[in-house]
């Protein structure tokens, strides 16, 4: 008869995500996972697989959560421009609230693993397509509503906004001030005018 798990798999995945996000893949040991997740090695292996499989599941959880948050912020405003502003100002707010200066889990993983891990590289490329696609779709709404000029190159603009998103997350990691970030957002979003 199978044993009933005495832990919430999603809660454990959230803890693993935070650990990998803070320390990175290589610096996180199995003992770190046991200590942080508060479950034994056998339970980790039985439920999530090896360290890499757990990392991939935690990374997918982060990306799904990030996309959900992004869409929520973008579509929380009637104005497309205001939606983008709200999104980027929320990232600027992270500069003050992220005490660990974790930055972005995707950006951190990109710099740590894509040079020698084709699986991760493929996931990162797919993540970029998803984010750029979401920005592009939102920009199209702005064009349809007459808020953004129809002569704008939406593909380039969507990639630019994705780069801004990631760049701001890097700046959060370096300790840039909230005030500096907000001023940068104001300047950066002039491309939507």
Does a structural domain hold residue 11? no
> What is the predicted pLDDT for the residue at 6?
64
- pLDDT value of residue 186: 96
pLDDT at 4: 52
Q: Cα dihedral sign for 36, 42, 43, 44?
A: positive
Closest Cα to residue 71, out of 57, 86, 56?
Answer: 86
Is residue 172's pLDDT more than 80? yes
pLDDT (mean) for 31-51: 93
The mean pLDDT value of the chain amounts to 93
Largest CA distance in the chain: 65
Q: Which CATH number do you get for residue 98?
A: 1.10.357.10
Structure tokens at 61: 């959880």
| 98: pLDDT strictly greater than 90 | no
Residue position matching structure tokens 């704008």: 152
Q: What residue numbers bound the domain in which 128 lies?
A: 56-192
Asked if pLDDT for residue 3 goes beyond 60, the answer is no
Cα-based distances in Å from 126 to 32, 66, 110, 131, 173: 29, 14, 12, 9, 24
> How many C-beta neighbours within 10 Å does residue 118 have?
9
Confidence of residue 73 (pLDDT cuts 50, 70, 90): very high
Taking residue 98's Cβ as centre, other Cβ atoms within 10 Å add up to 14
- pLDDT tens digit sequence for 124-141: 999 999 999 999 999 999
Distance (Å, whole) CA 51 – CA 29: 8
Q: Report the distance separating Cα 73 and Cα 84, nearest Å.
A: 8
Distance CA 17, CA 96 (A): 21
- For residue 168 the two structure tokens come to 């701001």
23: in domain:
no
51 in a domain, yes or no? no
Q: Give mean pLDDT, residues 45-72.
A: 95
Is the pLDDT assigned to residue 155 strictly greater than 60? yes
Residue 128 lies in a domain: yes
Q: Is 70 inside any structural domain? A: yes
Q: Is residue 104 part of a domain?
A: yes
Angle (deg, nearest 10), helices 51-74 and 80-97: 130
- Asked if residue 1 has pLDDT above 50, the reply is no
Overall domain count for the chain = 1
Whether 163 maps to a domain, the answer reads yes
41 vs 109: CA distance, rounded Å: 24
- The answer to whether residue 12 sits within a structural domain is no
């Amino acid at each position: 008869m199978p044993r009933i798990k005495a832990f919430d798999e999603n809660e454990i995945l959230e803890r693993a995500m935070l650990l990998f996000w803070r320390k990175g893949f290589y610096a996180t040991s199995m003992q770190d996972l046991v200590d942080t997740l508060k479950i034994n090695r056998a339970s980790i292996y039985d439920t999530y697989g090896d360290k890499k499989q757990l990392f991939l599941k935690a990374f997918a959880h982060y990306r799904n959560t990030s996309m959900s948050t992004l869409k929520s912020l973008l579509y929380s405003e009637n104005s497309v421009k205001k939606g983008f502003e709200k999104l980027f100002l929320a990232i600027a707010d992270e500069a003050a609230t992220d005490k660990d200066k974790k930055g972005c889990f995707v950006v951190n993983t990109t710099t740590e693993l894509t040079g020698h891990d084709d699986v991760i590289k493929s996931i990162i490329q797919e993540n970029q397509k998803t984010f750029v696609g979401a920005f592009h779709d939102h920009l199209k709404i702005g064009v349809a509503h007459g808020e953004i000029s129809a002569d704008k190159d939406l593909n380039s603009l969507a990639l630019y906004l994705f780069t801004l998103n990631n760049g701001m997350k890097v700046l959060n990691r370096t300790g840039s001030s909230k005030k500096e970030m907000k001023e940068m957002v104001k300047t950066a979003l002039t491309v939507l005018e």
